[in-house]
Structure formats: C-alpha cells, structure tokens
Structure 1
C-alpha cells in the first residue's frame, strides 16, 4: 500500500515525518521535494509502510497543483498511490473540536466556492456546475478516527481564514456537523478524484475558529498531536483502499 500525505507547510510535513522517519527527499517536477521514508532491508515482520509526504503550499490551488504533480509522477513511474491524505493543523469549531484534538473528515467541503446573492451564499452546485464536497470512504474514516482517538465530522476548506464570530456562526449554521476549517483539503481531494485515488483529511486543532487571538493558539501542541495521529495511520488503513477505475 502506498500513501501520499499532502500538507501546506514544512512544519506540518515535518510533524508527519516525525511519526516514521528517517526520510530521503526526491525531486519532483515544479520544484517540489517529496519526502520518502527510508525502508529497512527485508524486515521481519515487515512493518506497515510509512507514507510519502509533500508540503505543497498554502491554499486549495497550491494543494491541488502539488497533489496532481505527485500523483502524475507516481503513475508515470508505474507506482501509483492507493490513498491521498490532506493533513495539517487547523481551526476547530468550539466546543466540538477543542485545542489539540484530532478531526477526521467525513465530508471535505469547499465552503466559499460559489456566489454571493441577495438571498445569501449559493454554492457552485446550485449554480449548475462543479462540486463542493468530497466524501471519503466511511469505513476508512471510522477506522482512522478510532485509531487516532479523533472525532468525525465535516472539515471546511476556505480561501480566507475565518476571523469573526459572525462568520463562524454563519458557517456553523450552513454546515451542520462541521468540526474544523483549513485551507487545502478540497484542493487535495479534487486532484485525488481526478486520478481516481481515495482521499482522507486529518486535522489537529491549533486554534478556535472565530476572532483571531494568537495568544490562545497552541500550534506546538497541534503539531505534536499530528505526529501522534500519523503513528497510527498505516495500520489503520490496512487492508488497502484500492484505487477506483
């Protein structure tokens, strides 16, 4: 089984790599550096394989571009991935996703892909084209969440991070069951879907969604929680979720 993990920034990538390590770095087209775990020679018994990890950049466009590059390179090398995971830290919707908690997405939703109208926000699907949600395999979501001690719910992808109580309330009302927001999941999911590869999103909560209070953020604790979550991932993903046609 081959897993590709896509983060936004190097700190998130390094937190994921710390769960397995040591890693080598392989160059991909576009200047990307793909971190690949070093494999011991013929271990007995063989451990669950560690994932490859890519820091693709911030936002859904960068995430989609980096993910598509890695998936294409793997396919051309006749070594396609079985699963893509969007991962990193993010904001949690209080009180359901407290600081330091783990969230596994049952729905990966583009929260601001659509149009503002006199009646409020209209998602792009209601305009007659596109999609705004990807739904990972429910059994895989439950298995990963159980192994990591995480909660299951909706994770929103936004291009502008929420910074007000009014916006927080609007998103929570529009997306019942929302637990977290981040900036890359939907882009990763779009690229994975184009390649017919299953997708997951795993977030650890560094701050509460709402008015920005940097003094209350717990980035270090969220990165440590991300490492702990990824120690459980390879075993939780077995048996392999196979690629779709």
Structure 2
C-alpha cells in the first residue's frame, strides 16, 4: 500500500542549523534533519533518507539543502538570504598549468558524471521560495570541500564563477541525491561571513541562524 506523499525534506549540515529552521517552521509536514558536513556525507545521508521514505510509501515532494554560508562581497551582505539557482561542485576537477579544469571537461563519458558539476535548482520550487522571500539574492551557490580562506583563492573562484553569490559545503551532494530520486531540489542559505581571508572575528553565525529562522516561513 502506498501512503500519501510527505512534505519537503530539508537537510542541514549541523544540528544548530536544523534547530534554527524548526524554530520558524509553519508546516509540521516539513522534515528538517542535520545530515553532516561536506558533499559526500550530505549526499549519502540524503539519498538514504529519500530511499527509506520511498520504500515506506511516503516519498518526499522535494529536497532543500539549507544552512549558513559564506557570501561573495558585493553580491550578498552578511545576514542576507540566498536562493541558489544552481549547485556547483566548484573544486571537482583537475589542476593544470593553464588553470583549473572542471571534471566534466576532462573527457570522461557523460554517464560517469551524473548531473555534471552544475545542477540547476527546480524552477517551480525556486520560484515558490523566491515569492515568499523576495529579499533573497538569486545566483549559483558553490559547493567546496575546502572553505575559501585567502584573497588569492577568492579571486580564483570569482574568475571561474563570476555569477556565484555564495559558497557552502553540502549543496551539490544533496542535489545529486535529489536528482537520482527524481525530486525537485533547491538550496537556501543565509550568509554568516564574507568569502575571503579567514577571519573568525568577522563571522556572524548568530545573525545567520536568526535569518534561517526567518526564512523558514517560506518552507510551508
């Protein structure tokens, strides 16, 4: 017997992000769970949650990767909200004397690349969230394994991804899990710090978590 579909699955990296979202969540049908840090663990854990829900006959309607992020200066302010138009695996590829080469430009068979290094957000889910959060900044969100912490690496990311607005560590992995489950995906982030030279004193985690609570109203 197949049960009624569940609501959205919202996954975060850490419990504090999940708690911030639950604090502002108006819809009890929305599931919010922390799944771990980094694209590999986040993707694997999300895939398991989606598979278990499907086997139970209560598949989710869509997947949201949510949490705090670093924002590119001049594109989004600290404390601001971001809705990702694409999840981009920014450091998946190869170095060369001519510069970084994304993995989907290395000549591998397409079937080995899944969705490639850039997975678009579902347009309807993105539009629905943007309608509820009109002050959010739209743009690609980069997924990195190593958080950017120098001026040189920040400049390199800006050159390779001139439209990107933020960076985090889980979105691409979650997007791959959603894509394989044929479910809509979008990334929702609030900015805790500017991307650039590492400066813990400039981080505003509390403000970013408060912004997540405000943003949670859009997840109904």
Displacement of 1:142 after TM fit? 3.1
Look up the match of 2:43.
Answer: 64
Partner of 1:192: 178
Question: Which residue does the alignment assign to 1:85?
Answer: 64
2:139 corresponds to 1:159: no
Conservation of the 8 A alpha-carbon contact between 2:9 and 2:62: yes
Rounded Cα–Cα distance in structure 1 between residues aligned with 2:78 and 2:163: 17
- The match for 1:19 among 14, 24, 27 is 24
Tell me, in whole angstroms, the C-alpha distance in 1 between the residues paired with 2:38 and 2:155. Answer: 22
Question: Which stretches in structure 1 are left out of the alignment for 5+ residues?
Answer: 21-46, 235-245
The Cα of 1:2 is off from its aligned counterpart by 1.2
1:150-171 per-position Cα deviation (integer Å, ceiling 9, x unaligned): 0100100000000011111111
Does the aligned pair in 2 maintain the 1:142–1:152 contact within 8 Å? no
CA distance in structure 2 between the aligned counterparts of 1:232 and 1:198, rounded to whole angstroms: 16
Q: Paired residue for 2:126, among 141, 146, 157?
A: 141
Query: Which residue number in structure 2 is paired with residue 123 of structure 1?
Result: 102
Shift of 1:48: 4.9
In 2, distance between residues paired with 1:76 and 1:9? Answer: 26
Name the CA distance, whole Å, in 2 between partners of 1:179 and 1:202: 12
Per-residue deviation, 1:139: 3.9
Counterpart of 1:7 in structure 2 is: 12
Unaligned regions of 5+ residues in structure 2, if any? 1-5
Does 2:164 correspond to 1:178?
yes
Deviation string for 1:17-49 (max 9, x for gaps)? 1113xxxxxxxxxxxxxxxxxxxxxxxxxx755
Residue 95 and residue 50 in structure 1: after superposition, are their counterparts in 2 closer, same or farther (change >3 A)?
farther
Q: How many positions carry a matched residue from both structures?
A: 208
Offset of residue 50 of structure 1: 4.0
CA distance in 1, matches of 2:141, 2:15: 21
The alignment status of 1:132 with 2:87, answered yes or no, reads: no
Aligned 1:103-122 pairs, distance under 5 A:
103-122=82-101
1:231 aligns with 2:217: yes
Q: Does 1:54 align with 2:67?
A: no
| Equivalent-residue separation in structure 2 for 1:96 and 1:179 (angstroms) | 6
The answer to whether the 8 Å contact 2:76/2:165 transfers is yes
TM-score (norm 2): 0.91
Q: 2: distance between equivalents of 1:52 and 1:58?
A: 18
Alignment partner of 1:120: what SS?
coil
Aligned partners of 1:103 and 1:145 also within 8 Å: no
Task: Indicate the RMSD between aligned Cα atoms, in angstroms.
Answer: 1.3
The 8 Å contact of residues 27 and 219 in structure 2, kept in 1 or not, is answered as no
Q: Deviations over 1:184-233 (max 9, x none)?
A: 00000011111111101000000000101111110000000001001122
